[in-house]
Amino acid sequence: MRTPVAIAPALALSAALAAGVANAQPAVTLVQDLQNVVSLDASASVEVPKDQLSITLRATREGPEAKAVQDGLKQAIDAALAEARKHAQPGQMDVRTGNFSLYPRYNQQGRITGWQGTAELVLEGRDMPLIAQTAGRLNTVSVANITQSLSREARERHASEVAGQAIARYRAKAQEYAEKFGFAGYVLREVNVSTSDSGSLPQPMMMRAKAAAEDAAVPVEAGKATVTVTVSGSVILR
């Protein structure tokens, strides 16, 4: 009767030890994975022309009555919008309204003495000459801001072109580090690939209109952007 009682605790102890060893295995593997780890990064860049233009045009009105100021802004934007829509082309030049604000003016006693307001019209797209020409034709609004940028499609296309260079540089650097540390090579542990673009000095190229009567275009210089692909992460030297 005593034999089964004596064996049962022994079996339980053996099972507990086996479970402990099994649970310890991931920890041992984790320590091994963290050995000979090197973090590094590499990048490649290309300078490309900006292909998107946005011109913000603004109308400003002021007067003693809020409604009169608001009506004046509406008339100015409506007239500019009607003219701009004649030349709009999806993707090449899109037309939309921007911010609209109306606020009072106060005297030293805190009383309202008048009203002032602004309304905006935005021309944006890829056809820079068309946008510049159209902006110059709108006589009820004036240019408030000009912004150039790189379209998402262009950024992705150029990023794809330089991604291979960035990856090749990353691999070459990892191999170089491995050899300098006395290893034959490496294996990838973690890798991240990111893309960014930034502006640079404008390109000296004037965009002008081909108007029949006169050159009424807003002068715009086409600038450049730098697309950069960065590969970062860590490798295990072996």
Cα–Cα distances in Å, from 186 out to 163, 175, 179, 233? Answer: 21, 7, 9, 13
Are the CB atoms for 80 and 134 separated by under 8 Å? no
Per-residue pLDDT of 175-195, as tens digits, reads 999 999 999 999 999 999 999
pTM, whole model, 2 decimals? 0.68
Beta bridge partners of 40: 233
Instruction: Give the mean pLDDT of 216-226.
Output: 79
**How big is the chain, counted in residues?**
238
Instruction: Give the mean pLDDT of 55-72.
Output: 95
Q: Which of 139, 136, 61, 130 is nearest to 101 (CA)?
A: 61
Confidence of residue 197 (pLDDT cuts 50, 70, 90): confident
Per-residue pLDDT of 135-150, as tens digits, reads 999 999 999 999 999 9
Sign of CA dihedral 137, 141, 144, 149: negative
Strand, coil or helix: 202:
coil
Confidence of residue 210 (pLDDT cuts 50, 70, 90): very low
Per-residue pLDDT of 8-49, as tens digits, reads 444 444 444 444 444 545 544 445 557 899 999 999 999 999
Per-residue pLDDT of 96-123, as tens digits, reads 999 999 999 999 988 999 999 999 999 9
Residue with more model confidence, 63 or 219: 63
Q: Is 9 exposed, middle or buried (0-12, 13-18, 19+ CB in 10 A)?
A: exposed
Q: Which of 160, 153, 232, 152 is nearest to 189 (CA)?
A: 232
Please name the helix (run of DSSP H) or strand (run of DSSP E) that holds residue 93, with its range, or none.
none
Q: Which of 185, 190, 160, 183 is nearest to 172 (CA)?
A: 185
Reading the block at residue 52, the tokens are: 């998107």
Cα–Cα distances in Å, from 19 out to 10, 16, 184? Answer: 14, 5, 37
pLDDT value, residue 35: 85
